[in-house]
Every structure is written in structure tokens, then in C-alpha cells.
């Protein structure tokens, strides 16, 4: 508040829910993170609540599910060092930049034994941020909102869709489970839709993969 900031938008994560018991995760789901990433995000959420009570700071908290894709202009995309996100890793394997995609665990309690996640296009994510900031600047109270589309895809399904989109037979190998990985995280995004007027219009899985692939080709992904 000393810096004149009375509104704050925070990027949190669905990992704060841990191994959720609900098929679709709403904001009322208990937050029981199973890894340090989720635990640290939850700690900041709680600090924002404490700061708000003490100073009047209003905050919108967005709990992202799995963000993917690239900008429509193909000038901004996903690139981490080291890379940990599934779709970029799969496309690295499709392009030959990686020998294979490692499937971490095939014994989860899901239909094909691999983890299930809800994927959200990055431009739909950006739109949510704009709406959240407008809410705060308009004087409305803050709140916590899940951002996802309510449709889960397994690791195996993502790989198969990437094979179809890229026209490649993507090599894969089995690996052990990663500690702290929940078996299923699928979003109930109805609160953001109702209160912010948010609509995820770009978050078709094939489109997200195609956008990421097109952006990557501009960085040397040609086969």
C-alpha cells in the first residue's frame, strides 16, 4: 500500500488442490498440495488474504490448470529451461530435438493409467487476467478463480493428438512416477465464467498443439 498499489492479480495454480476428490475441481475443494510448487503458491494466497485484512489490498487469485499453446501472431510461445511442461516436451520429441517423450507413470487410477490434466490456451488465460484486473479497477472485491475448461486429457491422449497434428510418430519411453503428481486435475471454471464473464474460446487441444508447433517451427523445429 505504501507504493500506492491497492489491487493485485496473483498467478496461482491448481496444484494447491493436490489429489482432489472431485471429478471437476471447484474453488471450494480443500487445498491440500502434494508438492512444493503447490505449497508455496498456497502460502502466497494466504499471505494475500492476511495483507488484505490488514491493509485493504484487494486481490484476484487465478488458479491455473495446464496452460499451453502460443500467441496467434506466433511471436510468443512457451520455452522453459529446463522444460517441464508436457506439450513442449512432446513437440521436442516430434521435432527430433529430444530423443523421446518420457511417460512418467502408467499405473495411475485413470482409464489408460497416465495422468489426466485440463489444458487452457495461453490467450484465454490472458483474457482472464484482463477481466480480473478490470474487476478490481472497477472497485469490486477480489476473489479466487479456477481457470480451465472442464475437459481432461491423459498424457497418452496428448501424445496421440500431437502425433496427428504434427504428422509424426513421436517416440516415447516409460519412466517412473514423479513424486507429488496428482492422478487427475480437471477444472470447474464456472465461477470465473459467471463472475468475470470469461469464456475460453481457443482452448481446443488440437489448436493448442498446432499453435505451439507452429511457433516452435519458427525456432527451428523443422523435421
Written as nine digits, the cell of 72 is 496467434
- Give the residue from 16, 18, 40 showing the smallest Cα distance to 179: 18
Pairing of strands 184-185, 116-121: parallel
Cα within 13 Å of Cα(91), Cβ side:
28
The catalytic position among 37, 108, 153, 221 is 37
> Would residue 153 show up in a list of annotated catalytic residues for this protein?
no
C-alpha grid cell for residue 175?
A: 519412466
First to last CA, the chain: 52
CA atoms of 53 and 129, how far apart (whole Å): 23
Q: Residue 62 burial (CB < 10 Å; 0-12/13-18/19+)?
A: buried
Radius of gyration of the CA atoms of the chain, in A? 18
β-bridge partners, 160: none
Q: Quick one: which of 21, 23, 215 has its CA closest to 118?
A: 23
Nearest partner of 115 among 167, 64, 153, judged by Cα: 153
Catalytic residues: 37
Amino acid at each position: 500500500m505504501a507504493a500506492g498499489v491497492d489491487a493485485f492479480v496473483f498467478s496461482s495454480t491448481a496444484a494447491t488442490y493436490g489429489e482432489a476428490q472431485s471429478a471437476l475441481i471447484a474453488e471450494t475443494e480443500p487445498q491440500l498440495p502434494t508438492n512444493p510448487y503447490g505449497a508455496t503458491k498456497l502460502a502466497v494466497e494466504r499471505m494475500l488474504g492476511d495483507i488484505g485484512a490488514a491493509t485493504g489490498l484487494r486481490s484476484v487469485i487465478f488458479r491455473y490448470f495446464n496452460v499451453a499453446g502460443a500467441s496467434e501472431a506466433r511471436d510468443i510461445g512457451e520455452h522453459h529451461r529446463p522444460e517441464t511442461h508436457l506439450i513442449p516436451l512432446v513437440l521436442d520429441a516430434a521435432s527430433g530435438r529430444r530423443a523421446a517423450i518420457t511417460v512418467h507413470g502408467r499405473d495411475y487410477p485413470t482409464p489408460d493409467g497416465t495422468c489426466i490434466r485440463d489444458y487452457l490456451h495461453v490467450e484465454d488465460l490472458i483474457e482472464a487476467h484482463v477481466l480480473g484486473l478490470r474487476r478490481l479497477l472497477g472497485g469490486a472485491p477480489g476473489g479466487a478463480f479456477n481457470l480451465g475448461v472442464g475437459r481432461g486429457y491423459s498424457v497418452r491422449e496428448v501424445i496421440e493428438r500431437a502425433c496427428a497434428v504434427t504428422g509424426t510418430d513421436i517416440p516415447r519411453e516409460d519412466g517412473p512416477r514423479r513424486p507429488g503428481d496428482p492422478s487427475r486435475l480437471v477444472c470447474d471454471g464456472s465461477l470465473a465464467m459467471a463472475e468475470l464473464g470469461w469464456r475460453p474460446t481457443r482452448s481446443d487441444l488440437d489448436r493448442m498443439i498446432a499453435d505451439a508447433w507452429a511457433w516452435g517451427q519458427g525456432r527451428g523445429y523443422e523435421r
